[in-house]
Amino acid sequence: MFVTTRGFKKLILLIIRTCSFGLLFGLRENPTVIEQLVHYRLRMYLDRRSKQPWVFSRTACLGNDVYRLAKIPIARHNIQKGRCDELLRRYLRQDKSNFSRKISGHLTRQDIFPLIIEQERIWWQKPAPEFVFMDSYSELTDQLFTEKNKAISFCANYADIKIDKSELSDISCLGLIKIEDLKDQYFRFFSMLHSMWPKTFIIFLHFPSHREKRVSFIYRAQAIREAIGQLQVDDKMIISLEIPSRGQENFQVSDDDLAAEFPYHYDKQTYLVFASMLRNAVSSLPSCRPPGKNKRSVFEVLLGLEFLAFHRGDTKLANNESLVSQN
């Protein structure tokens, strides 16, 4: 990737500053933290400067695996824990703060640290993506956390953060988005996206909840489906991908996933059905190119008509694809 002299200087300063903060905050004993900070901040910096076609992505395990299985050859810039209200807040405040270094010591699992770092993405400074790809997981399960002085906020699962319930705690949990606020929060977030990228479609994938036993999360999943469905009535730029509940006509899959404890990991057929849905949705999208150009789909622009015809007819995916992803 080509980087100008000015850009190279900024890159070096970014690396030096990251390493310096690591030492300053006592991370010398955990080189993995510094390595992750340098690696992911460098990658996000290069992503931001890239001129290649891209997809703005907010997906967790299901969306990540479905995108890979769909074999869409466009780079994603993903913020897995980017809850819609928090993404909107960072945009409205133009919040470019690098806060993840302060959070590393509060994590119960160090493997989720990259999911904290990527919430620092300055995603709104790029030209329009080919499309926006979201799944429902963050609004379904991610909690909002804030520092004691409220200078920073971020999202994570409740079990991933060490919470000291005393008054001296540095981190406070503000909880999930209230169910009654879901539609309004989605509306505000989608309106912001439309104001920046008026020709960019939003593809929204719903996590199936047929294996969820917790009543509160079953209600949340239904509320999210209803909110997106209601917004679709007036917003034709939203494409919703959803598998009907088990037992409904024309949908039968194996029950292999019932052996897994986590209710949001599924049997392979579920991933393949969603991958087919995503390919069909993307193949019909108009390209986000300047006016005056011939209107062609994203796949046609990037791959050519012959490969598009093949891809549309491809209903079987390789059986050796890994379906392991992190939540």
Residue 325 is assigned to a structural domain of this protein: no
Same domain, 27 and 160: no
Same domain, 204 and 272: yes
Q: For every one of its 327 residues, what pLDDT tens digit does the chain have, with 9 covering 90 and above?
A: 444 555 555 555 555 555 545 444 444 446 577 788 888 888 888 888 888 999 999 999 999 999 999 999 999 999 999 999 999 999 999 999 888 888 888 899 888 999 999 999 999 989 999 999 999 999 999 999 998 777 889 999 999 998 876 555 688 899 999 999 999 999 999 999 999 999 999 999 999 988 888 999 999 999 999 999 999 999 999 999 998 765 333 444 445 555 457 888 888 888 999 999 999 999 988 865 444 444 455 555 444 443 444 444 444 433 333 333 445
What is d(CA 83, CA 186) in angstroms, rounded to the nearest whole number?
A: 10
Same domain, 142 and 253: yes
Q: How crowded is residue 179: how many other Cβ atoms within 10 Å of its Cβ?
A: 16
Decide which of 28, 51, 74 is a domain's last residue: 51
Same domain, 84 and 21: no
Exposed/middle/buried for residue 11 (C-beta within 10 Å: 0-12, 13-18, 19+): middle
**187, 184, 289: which is closest to 238 by C-alpha?**
187
Residue 326 is assigned to a structural domain of this protein: no
Same domain, 5 and 56: no
Decide which of 14, 36, 51 is a domain's last residue: 51
Distances (CA, A) of 123 to 94, 189, 216, 267: 10, 14, 32, 33
CATH number for the domain harbouring residue 160: 3.40.50
What is d(CA 231, CA 237) in angstroms, rounded to the nearest whole number?
A: 10
Residue 138 is assigned to a structural domain of this protein: yes
Same domain, 92 and 29: no
Same domain, 63 and 177: yes
Contacts of 21 (CB under 8 A, 6+ apart): 37, 98, 101
Residue 225 is assigned to a structural domain of this protein: yes
What would the two tokens of residue 34 be?
A: 């510094």
Residue 324 is assigned to a structural domain of this protein: no
What would the two tokens of residue 274 be?
A: 């969603």
Q: Into how many domains does the chain fold?
A: 2
What is d(CA 116, CA 147) in angstroms, rounded to the nearest whole number?
A: 14
Q: Strand pairing of 143-147 and 238-241? A: unpaired
Same domain, 60 and 188: yes
Domain that holds residue 18: 1-51
Cβ–Cβ under 8 Å, residues 81 and 119: yes
DSSP state of 172: E
What would the two tokens of residue 8 be?
A: 């190279």
Helix (H, G, I), strand (E, B) or coil at 171: strand
Residue 305 is assigned to a structural domain of this protein: yes
Residue 321 is assigned to a structural domain of this protein: no
Residue 122 is assigned to a structural domain of this protein: yes
Same domain, 137 and 22: no
Same domain, 34 and 142: no
Same domain, 70 and 25: no
Same domain, 191 and 109: yes
User: Amino acid letter at 166?
Assistant: S
